[in-house]
Structure formats: structure tokens, C-alpha cells
Structure 1
Amino acid sequence: MNKIVRAMWNGEIKIITGLRRCGKSVLLFELFYDYLLSQGVKDEQIVRIALDQRRFYRYRNPIVLCESVESLIQKESKKRFYLLLDEVQMTSTALDSESGGISVTVYDMLNELKAYKNLDMYVTGSNSRGLSSDVATEFRGRATQIRVYPLSFAELYSHVGGDERAALDRYMLYGGMPRLLSLDDEKDKKDYLMSLYNELYLKDIAERNGVEREDLMNGILDYLASQIGSLTNPTAVANALTSMRREKVNPSLVSNYIQYSLDSFLISEAKRFDVKGKSYFKYPNKYYYTDLGLRNARLNYRQFDPGHIMENVIYNELVRRGYSVDVGVVSDRAGGGNVRKEIDFVVNDTNRRIYIQSALRMDMESKTSSELASLWLTNDFFKKIVIRMDLLHSYYDENGIFHCALGDFLLNRVELF
């Protein structure tokens, strides 16, 4: 909400993206709508079009959409209007008879509407390809992108309260899809998440991208769900599926299907960054689920690895806060060798950087040494943090490394930078 309010009347189209059912429509059509009314904006100045509702189907034709909005704002040129357009990926391409049958997209029409100084536009979409993989190009560099995520732990805990650790355990199991707050029964929660995954996300990805091998796509998502926090690449995934399915799986097809899942915001990709060489590796990378409840439902709650799940939670929280997050790689040349060691997260915020390790517990000296070794290999002065689940309170050790309790991090009780 704060991001949307700050972007009002900035001369750009506001693009609100995110996983389906994570709250984009509520944010725009309820919270922001109520905010506008509270600021004295009249209801007739707010044009709300939900393209997934039957009464608005005609506006899926971008020409009809544009002409309808134009007729309103031209008639009342001295008034300010707000266009709230939901699920823009449902629009189609139209032929403009007045220009000789040229194909027209919703991007063309929104760019045309953008010329009106008395109109401020807000658009939601659940698929980056539905909004184009390059929004800046389609909207000619004049769009503000706002990403919406499932509930953070802080948001969820502000609602459920009670024992903090018990709430965190539930969050790591069921995730943060908003509707879960209205469900009390454990089976109802599991059924809801399974239904979302199978009946909404998988079908949406398959239909939107013309996926012919849905069984293969399912296998890829199963594999990625079981490998969160582990380095992998399309070739490794293809080899694993080839072994399991006893049929040759093409790595290029795997790469395409992974990209479809990324485009749908179902998963995220963290690239590997050479801290000393200051360059990125092409492969392997790590993949994380945008919502852990969906990940756990995908695996039918059979594979609950708290260490990797905790790492996924930390990654999601860092990205949600707007940081650039990579997987760090440092070289250990001790003894004449060249061993690459991993830093879980290299976190950048403009010109600032921190290094973060995720550690479920550090109750043995060997575990402590292994977690801290890669941090020391950076040989720089950026802040170094170990986020741990086995701490009651956060503290700095004698070497200046910040040991941060997971709850303190997720509930914003400590400053990272």
C-alpha cells in the first residue's frame, strides 16, 4: 500500500504483479479503493474493471477497453480519474479496422491512455508474460512495478499472535497464502493448498504456455520442490528425470518449463555470484518456492526439511524487502588448492552489502566452523550475519559476526544494514 500511495500521479502506469491468490485484487480493489475514498475521491472517479468477471469480458478487447475509458475521461476533462484494471493477462490481441487491420495489444491501448493527464492507471497481473517479460519495453520505460507476495511471517503473526515459535512452525508448514487465515482445520488448509496448486497454478501454466507434457512439468516441479536450497541446473534436472522415468528428457525442454514456472511467480531463481571475481556463473543456480505451503503441498507434506525450508523463508523475506539476493561463492586456496565455498546469500541494497548464512543450529564446533569459514574468506569489511533458529536472543560474537535469531529477523526486531 505504501508503495502504491507513493507512486500516485507519478506519470507512470503502476504494474502490480505476483502469484495468483496472493492478494493483488484485494490490495487494489479493496484497500487502495478504500484509501482513495478516504482521501475524498468520488466513487464515479474510480473505474474498476476485473477482467476475470463475466460482466467485464468485453473489455478483454483492448480497443473496447480504451474507447470506454476515453469516453469517460474526455467527458469530464477537469476531473481526475483512476483506472484499476485487474488480471490484465486475460486481454487478447485485437485488429484495429481504422488503421488497416493492424494488431493492437493492451500495451498499445494503455500507452495511449497514458497521454491523458487526468488519468492515473493501476494494473494487476499474475504472469510476467501476461505483462510481457520486459514490461519496461512494452510501456516504453514508463511503468512502476510493484510486486505482491504471500503474507510474510510478521504479517501472519500480527493476526494469529500467541506462541511465536508455534506460529513460525505453522508458517514453515503452511506458508502465507492469505485465505489460510480464515481456515482453522488442518485438513482444510492442506486441501486448499493442494487445490490451488493442482487446479489453478498447474493448469494456468499449462494453458498459457501450451505445455504438451504436463506430466513432465509436474515431475520438474516435484524435483525442484525436493531440492530447495540445493544447486541445480536444467541438465541435472533432465538427468534425474531420465533416471526416474526411464525415458530421455531433453534439458532444453526442462529449461523452458522452469522458465514458465518462474514467469508464473510460482518459484524464484537465485544466481551464483563470485564474490572476489565479481561475476555471475551461468549454472548451477538455486530455486526457491514463492510460498512454502504450496511447496509442501506439492510434496504431500512428505519431505519436511527444516534447514532448507528455513533457508527458503529467509530468501523470500529478503526479496520481499526489496533487496537483490544472490548465492555467494568464494574460493579457498589454502594449501595450494582452489575449493569453492558457498555463502547462502549475498544481499545488496544499492551501494550496501551484507553476507548471510542460514543455520538451523550451531550446537557443535564443527558446524560452527563450517558456517563461518566462507564468511571469513571474503576478506572484506561488509557485515556478516548468521541467522539461526536455535537462538533466543541475537548477539555479536568476539569476531564481529552477528548471530541473529530467526524470529528477530522475520519480525523486524533487528537492523540488517
Structure 2
Amino acid sequence: MYIKRERYLSKIRPFYDVDLIKVLTGVRRCGKSILLEQIKEEFIENGFDRAHIITINFEDLQFEKIRTAEKLNSYVNEQIKDHDKYLIFLDEIQHVRSFEKVLASFRATLNCSIFITGSNSKLLSGKMATLLVGRCVEFRIMPFSFAESYEYATAIGRNISPDEFMIDYINWGGFPLRFSFTKESDIKRYLEQTYEGILDKDIITDRSKVNRQNFERVATYIMANAGKEFSSKNIENYFIHQNADTLDKKTIYRYLDKMEKACLIDRVKRFNIVGKQAMSYIEKQYAVDTGFRMINTNLVNFEDTFFLENIIYNELKARDYEVFTGKTYKGEIDFVAINGRKKCFIQVAYYLAGKETIEREFGAFKPISDASPKYVFSLDRFDYSRDGIAHINIVDFLLGKKDINLS
């Protein structure tokens, strides 16, 4: 059972027959392999010859021995029987050493369209970027959005309203296979094993020289505090409180980089609203999925907004906005969403429970003279819009019933 991931297919479709390597990146188990299958099915439905489709999943034991560019080149060329066009699907390409060389060769010598996936956000950096500059197009794949999760949950027979399902999504996120389980203990176990698998395969390998205990402590802290203002000093204090060895700032940032490369987190920069410019300073980290945040905290505190902020951040990124945290001379705006030269400002709250909360959330925009649209998001069904600031129900936004405007 799976749903059609139209959000991503609609982005990739215009490149099906373009002479660029289509690169799908994203955290493990987010659904990249299924998306490749859906792309393949669309070609077949449009009459493409199955015999001209070459598929390799490098995590399949059948292909375990293909670990070098030379062996991959030999295998693919053995499958080529004529001069007609071929489709080449390579799943989890990072397992092949010097894969960028063979991709460049395929593109230069074969009549083909190439689709690859990888569980590394920096797949298009370094040598690959040098060899394939201008020859790739990248698509970042995320776990199920709220809308996809609700569609899937409904398809498998869960009779639940969107508002009720929101609590489930806040807690356990959108990793597709987690919907195979109904008991919270089973969901938690699955997410923990998935998380540990990412650490083992993508971060704490034999060649990585990473102290597992120290890394797991840092990762737990980052996940548990996703959405909060980042400070390496706070992590140092956390280690002291845990009676653990202290870590220097360089090591902490190296661990953060590894988490980002494994697509576990996004690192969010600051936008100076007064100066109207993006800053290089990294302000916050957000988890790729709230399920991973949950297993590192074991409790959703409905008095704070960080789980909801995380969901809104991921949704904005999936909709192809540039997202920053905003700074005014008096405080913080949760998000500045930018598309080209247009932008809007967003505050996020669970519920606007009481006059004080309403004043705080709407009042955050007072220092901003910029005329760009301003929004307060919350789970309230009552419309609290006021003073030119729009209030949007979060569930309606996530389902596409309400949207933001930029100017």
C-alpha cells in the first residue's frame, strides 16, 4: 500500500527527458525508493519498454559486490543491448566509491536518462560537484507531510478527523513505515531502530572516527532542543551536567555537520529584518521529522511550540521556500519565508489561549515596518485575525485549504 507522492513527482516530471542527472536526496526510510518506483511506473504507463530499464538498489544483497565505479560501469554496459534510450535507476548511490566518475561517463557515452538517490545532503558537493557541475538537478525528499500522512492513514482504514490526527502527527511524524504499527510502543521501537540505523550506516562508521557515546549525547541534545536557539556553550554545559567528558566547540560543530549530511537536521540561518538581509549566522536546528524529536525527548510539552514549529518549518521547505528565523531589535519572529524577492513573516503558537498569548504572538510584529504579509499560525479554529495580521489554522494550512501570500 502506498500513496502517489504528487508533490515530488510534479517537480521531477519536467526533467524526465532532460539531459540532467536527477538526484533525489533525503534521510533513510523517507520513501525515496518508492518514489523511484513511481517514476518508473509513469514511464511504463507512457509506453516505455521495460527491457530498457536498469535498476540497482545498492542495499540489496544481489548488488553487494558492485562497490566501485569500474564494477558499476561494467554491470550497466552489460545490460545495454542496443542504441535505444535506457532508463538507469541507482538507489543509495553513496555505497559506490567514486560514483561521480561513472555517472559522468554514463551521461557522456550512453543514450540514457539517469535517476539516483542518496542518504546524504552533501551528495552534490566535493568531487561530484566538480565533475558534474551543471549536469545535475537535485530534489530533497522528506518523510510524509501532514497531508500525505493523513491521506495514507485514511487509505489504510483509520477513521479519524484531521484535527485529531494532528496530535498523532505531532508525536510520531511521517516516516511511511511507522503507519504499519498501531501501538505507540511499536511505533517508538520502529523509530528508534530507524534512527540507530542511520547513525550506524551514515555517521558512526569504522572510518568516521566518531566517539559513539559523545555523538549520541550531542545528537540527543540537538533533537530534544530542535527549534530552540542554538549555543555550543549550552551543549558544553549539558555534558558537564551529565558528568561526561567535555567537548570542544570544533567537535560539536563537526557532529552537527554529520547530522546535517545524514539529513537528520536542517540548520537555519538568521534573517535581519531591519537590514533586510540573510545572515551567515546559524541560529537554530530543526529535525527532519518530529518522530525523531519525540524519541529523544519522550514527551511532547504542549506548553511550548517547538514541535509545531518543526512541522511548519518542514512544510515550508517542502514547498520550496527559503526559510530563516527572523530577528528584530526587540525580539524574534519564528520564520521568514522567502521566494525570490518576495517574503512573509510567520509566528507559530499551539493555541491562542488568553489575551496575554494573543498580545504576545500578534505583538511580535510591532517592530516590523516591512509591509510584507504577516501571519500567526495556531491550532485554534476561531479566526483571530487583527490589525492586518492574518490568523491561519495550522491543519488547514498543512492540508492546503489555506495558504500564505508573499510580497
TM-score by length of 1: 0.88
Question: Which residue matches 1:52?
Answer: 59
Question: Which residue matches 1:252?
Answer: 250
Question: Which residue matches 1:42?
Answer: 49
| Residue from 262, 287, 290 that aligns with 1:289 | 287
Whether the 8 Å CA contact 2:383–2:391 is kept in 1: the answer is: yes
Letter of the structure 1 residue corresponding to residue 169 of structure 2: Y
**Alpha-carbon distance change, 135 to 392 in structure 1, aligned in 2, over 3 angstroms:** farther
What is the Cα deviation at residue 159 of structure 1? 2.4
| Residue from 369, 385, 395 that aligns with 2:375 | 385
Q: Does 1:76 align with 2:120?
A: no
**Gaps in structure 2 of 5+ consecutive residues:** 1-8, 155-159
Whether the 8 Å CA contact 1:88–1:130 is kept in 2: the answer is: no
Alignment of 1:253-272 (within 5 A): 253-272=251-270
**Alpha-carbon distance change, 20 to 305 in structure 1, aligned in 2, over 3 angstroms:** farther
Q: Secondary structure at 2:337's aligned position in 1?
A: strand
Q: Secondary structure at 1:382's aligned position in 2?
A: coil
| Residue from 209, 231, 234 that aligns with 1:233 | 231
**Alpha-carbon distance change, 36 to 379 in structure 1, aligned in 2, over 3 angstroms:** same
Distance in 2 separating the partners of 1:41 and 1:281 = 47
1:335-381 deviation per Cα after TM superposition (whole angstroms, max 9, x unaligned): xxxxx410100000112111000011223323222222332322021
What is the Cα deviation at residue 244 of structure 1? 2.8
Alignment of 1:270-309 (within 5 A): 270-283=268-281, 285-301=283-299, 307-309=305-307
What is the Cα deviation at residue 280 of structure 1? 4.1
| Residue from 391, 399, 404 that aligns with 1:411 | 399
What is the Cα deviation at residue 168 of structure 1? 0.5
Question: Which residue matches 1:20?
Answer: 28
Letter of the structure 2 residue corresponding to residue 76 of structure 1: D
Whether the 8 Å CA contact 1:296–1:304 is kept in 2: the answer is: no
**Alpha-carbon distance change, 153 to 374 in structure 1, aligned in 2, over 3 angstroms:** same
| Residue from 164, 167, 176 that aligns with 1:166 | 164
Letter of the structure 1 residue corresponding to residue 220 of structure 2: D
Letter of the structure 2 residue corresponding to residue 56 of structure 1: F
1:23-51 deviation per Cα after TM superposition (whole angstroms, max 9, x unaligned): 101110x2112111101111111100111
What is the Cα deviation at residue 21 of structure 1? 0.6
Q: Does 1:114 align with 2:104?
A: no
**Gaps in structure 1 of 5+ consecutive residues:** 93-104, 332-339
Letter of the structure 2 residue corresponding to residue 175 of structure 1: G
Letter of the structure 2 residue corresponding to residue 70 of structure 1: N
Distance in 2 separating the partners of 1:148 and 1:343 = 27
Letter of the structure 1 residue corresponding to residue 51 of structure 2: E
TM-score by length of 2: 0.90
Distance in 2 separating the partners of 1:282 and 1:128 = 19
Whether the 8 Å CA contact 1:136–1:142 is kept in 2: the answer is: no
What is the Cα deviation at residue 68 of structure 1? 3.2
Distance in 2 separating the partners of 1:294 and 1:317 = 16
Q: Secondary structure at 2:137's aligned position in 1?
A: strand
Distance in 1 separating the partners of 2:177 and 2:142 = 13
Q: Does 1:125 align with 2:118?
A: yes
Percent of counterpart pairs with the same letter? 29
Aligned length in residues: 392
1:294-350 deviation per Cα after TM superposition (whole angstroms, max 9, x unaligned): 11112334766652111111111111111100000011xxxxxxxx41010000011
Q: Does 1:141 align with 2:148?
A: no
What is the Cα deviation at residue 141 of structure 1? 2.1
Whether the 8 Å CA contact 2:100–2:128 is kept in 1: the answer is: no
Name the larger-Rg structure: 1
1:191-232 deviation per Cα after TM superposition (whole angstroms, max 9, x unaligned): 111111124435531117614311111111111122122111
Question: Which residue matches 1:367?
Answer: 357
Q: After alignment, is 197-206 or 321-330 more displaced?
A: 197-206
Question: Which residue matches 1:335?
Answer: none
**Alpha-carbon distance change, 152 to 177 in structure 1, aligned in 2, over 3 angstroms:** same
